Structure 1
Amino acid sequence: MRLGGRLQAAIEVLEDIEAKKRPASDALKDWGSSHRFAGAGDRAVIGNIVYDALRRKLSLGWLMGSDSASSLAYGALLRDGGLPYEDIMAAIANDKFSPVELSDDQLKNWQNNDITKAEDYIQADVPLWCVDKLRGTFGDDWVAQAAALADRPPVDLRVNRLKATRNQLLLALEGTGAASAPFLDDAVRIPPIEALGRHPNVQTGQAFQDGWFEVQDLGSQIAAKLANAKAGEQVLDYCAGAGGKTLSLAAAMENRGQIHAFDAEAARLSPIYDRLQRAGVRNTQGYNKQADLEPLKGQMDLVLTDAPCTGAGTWRRRPDAKWRLTEQQLERREQDQQDVLNSAKHYLKAGGRFVYVTCSIFDSENNRQIEKFLAENSNFSEEKIDLASIAGAEFGDVQPVFLSHGCVFSPKQTMTDGFYVAILKKQA
């Protein structure tokens, strides 16, 4: 496909997403299924345009003076596609599959509008109702923090120390752009896509098949590292999902001790078994029934709760979710978080560590939840988060946002997805 056809396809996908309020991944998959002539390169460019348009839906619409799918797709291509307008027009000329060109008014708007004159929430590219939630976490810096969640993300990998070293993995991934990531000795990063490029599919390679690494954002890796799981401990990964943090904990524990990975939804937990086998993890077992955890009460050295949340910290990767999220959904998640905290606390023994994690940057899902929990549970206290305790980490001036309880990692602050971590301890 030529650029004109790719641009038109992106417009059609954006129209489908808007009309049906559906995930972008589903819309792109359906488009690909019905247009099998499109190659991997075509689908990558179309996906880039769609995701770039969704990340900056408000600011692109404001700059264009229109929030139509066509305006957003053109705006995304102009901003992130690496081509000036004249080159785009030349590339789509005489292509019968090309969309209608921008109007003179749209082009003038794009060239003359100054985004710094737009309202704050438009500059931040977030729904208006989210402003107070973000200000509660980031204060006056909330616009810049939120805007960073509209950038293209890198691909982060965690080296599985049970099977490989970082140098071995970097050699295996030579030619992919992979390099050592900051902060952690086990982290590798492939930089964000540039222009109309695409990330290499590292999960098709032999290193992945052999269990040398897992795809895991650096923020998630840091959160798991801060849990400080030790060899020989009894650990409960509550709300384990597909097991990303479980695998991190297992490697840190050198396959010694025991990890109990629980998720109430069997479908969410099901991928963990293949992942455990591929990674060579032998100290982990899965549960999806609450009753099966009864013998674990009062026995755990560490309980990690990766609580259900809005996922606002992952908007770089799932920008469509930003526009589907509602205040009612947030309220339900806040109740879920309270339920998880009040259930998971019973599995800790005296002196055990309780680590609360979300991939959200909303104050009401994070700081306020821990504030409420501590007020209601006098036998728990908060432990200071000591980044220097992370083996091999040298954060220097790069620090998360420390709150009255816990801290938040973010694209702007730490070059990661948005994550919140708080560490509590159960008193004797």
Structure 2
Amino acid sequence: MTPSARVQAAIELLDQTIEGAKSVGAPADRLIAAYFKQRRYAGSKDRRAVRELVYRAIRECSEVPTTGRTAMLALAESDPAIAELFDSSAHGPPRIGKHEKPAKHGVAPQWLVEALDKSGVSAEEQAAMLGRAPLDCRVNTLKAERDLLELPVAGEHLAAPAGLRFEAGTQVEQWEAYRSGQIEVQDHGSQLACLAAAAQPGETVIDLCAGAGGKTIALAAAMQNTGELIACDTDARRLGLLGPRSERAGLTNTTRRVLNPKAEMEALSDLRQRADLVLVDAPCSGTGTWRRKPEAKWRLTPKRLERFADLQDHVLDIAVECTKPGGRIAFITCSLLDAEGADRVEAFLERHPSWTAEQAELPLGRPHGSRNAKGMRLTPFHDGTDGFFIAILRSA
């Protein structure tokens, strides 16, 4: 592909991404994979270059652009080298017209910027939310030790005791250490969230929103493969991915349960008031993960944010039913919006006045929330992690 053809391909993919954002369809990474699956002639360099153009354009635009071309014009306005590639060549985009207007520059839609401002996220921190994330891994302590593990590339030691950092794009999936389950890909912030949960050997632990099980595997390692660890989710497909991951990681204390939305306790009745720890990695807007999924800023609306908050309250109330007296809930959201963090803790304490909020002990992060609704916040700008809010809730 010529450089101009790459720009045109990026424009076509941006059109699809914009449509996906409006209809809550497939995310950009899936659209890119499908696009090149149908275009086998494109080499690996072409795929990387087009992908980079797509994500640079998404990061450049605040509001959802009208078209992929206006999004690319916004990037061209910031990068004259790209503007020159609008050359009307055979497979390239038409030349830029005198009256063509690019999409609006900025971090995110205005209402979302205002919500971040109110949540104490500065302009400098907001800009860092759209940087490119490094590749973080966690050494699986069930199979290896960080200081003794030999890898093709020496990773940077992180604050999390099993954390290693590599350059973005490092092909760790091709390493024997990955195939044998000695390392797992996991953002440093996620590792710190699991550290805050402080799962102990022999405990009964429920991962209530396990998804594909990244945090489940980290909890099992902290528990030294002892006790009982139950991974739950309403998405059977995602939870099914935990099976082969558990086998590779060497987990022996973990079981899985698929839950029915709004009737979750039917499958959890035998666990009522039994858990020492319930991890609530709650579904959220994902504002803390924009470095990896920048188009998420176009998918969020005030109504969707409100629905996320309601769902978080619902899941927390389920966790209460499963926690034994004196037990704890680790509440985690990969969001920097107070509506999905400190506000949820405040609302929780109003519904459950016998519970208290404790500030997690972490090597990174800053306290965030009110005096009663204590929590910790991690941000890309301050901590080099995805954005997280973490609170520990304790039963009387």
Partner of 2:151: 172
Structure 2: runs of 5 or more not aligned: none
Structure 1: runs of 5 or more not aligned: 111-117, 193-198, 388-392
Partner of 1:325: 300
Post-superposition Cα deviations, 1:253-293, rounded to whole Å, max 9, x if no partner, equal 11111111111221221111111000001111111133232
Task: Select which of 182, 207, 210 maps to 2:158.
Answer: 182
Task: Select which of 144, 167, 185 maps to 1:191.
Answer: 167
Within 2, Cα distance between the matches of 1:202 and 1:95?
Answer: 39
Between structures 1 and 2, the one with greater helix share: 1
Partner of 1:222: 192
Task: Select which of 42, 46, 53 maps to 2:50.
Answer: 46
Residues 1:11 and 2:11 are matched in the alignment:
yes
Partner of 2:368: 402
- Contact persistence 2:342–2:368 (CA under 8 A): no
- Contact persistence 1:3–1:92 (CA under 8 A): no
- Cα distance change of structure 1 residues 253 and 186 upon mapping to structure 2, 3 Å threshold: same
CA-based RMSD: 2.6
Partner of 2:38: 34
Within 2, Cα distance between the matches of 1:239 and 1:355?
Answer: 12
- Contact persistence 1:351–1:425 (CA under 8 A): yes
- Contact persistence 2:227–2:253 (CA under 8 A): yes
Total equivalences in the alignment: 383
Within 2, Cα distance between the matches of 1:74 and 1:36?
Answer: 27
Within 2, Cα distance between the matches of 1:357 and 1:86?
Answer: 42
Task: Select which of 56, 59, 65 maps to 2:60.
Answer: 56
- Cα distance change of structure 1 residues 78 and 270 upon mapping to structure 2, 3 Å threshold: farther
The amino acid of 2:267's aligned partner reads D
Task: State the 1:32 CA deviation.
Answer: 0.7
- Contact persistence 1:313–1:410 (CA under 8 A): yes
The normalised TM-score by structure 1 is: 0.82
Within 2, Cα distance between the matches of 1:162 and 1:253?
Answer: 10
Within 2, Cα distance between the matches of 1:210 and 1:330?
Answer: 39
Spell out the pairing of 1:148-167 with structure 2 (5 A cutoff).
148-167=128-147
Post-superposition Cα deviations, 1:82-125, rounded to whole Å, max 9, x if no partner, equal xx745984x8989632323446788xx99xxxxxxx9xxx54x1
Within 1, Cα distance between the matches of 2:111 and 2:80?
Answer: 34
Within 1, Cα distance between the matches of 2:182 and 2:320?
Answer: 34
Q: What SS class does the counterpart of residue 319 from structure 1 fall into?
A: coil
The normalised TM-score by structure 2 is: 0.88
- Contact persistence 2:8–2:93 (CA under 8 A): yes
Partner of 1:128: 110
The amino acid of 2:94's aligned partner reads V
Within 2, Cα distance between the matches of 1:401 and 1:14?
Answer: 38
Residues 1:100 and 2:94 are matched in the alignment:
yes
- Cα distance change of structure 1 residues 94 and 330 upon mapping to structure 2, 3 Å threshold: closer
The amino acid of 1:70's aligned partner reads R
Give the fraction of aligned pairs with identical amino acids, expressed as a percent: 36
Task: Select which of 280, 291, 315 maps to 1:305.
Answer: 280
Within 1, Cα distance between the matches of 2:83 and 2:32?
Answer: 23
Q: What SS class does the counterpart of residue 62 from structure 2 fall into?
A: helix
Partner of 2:330: 355
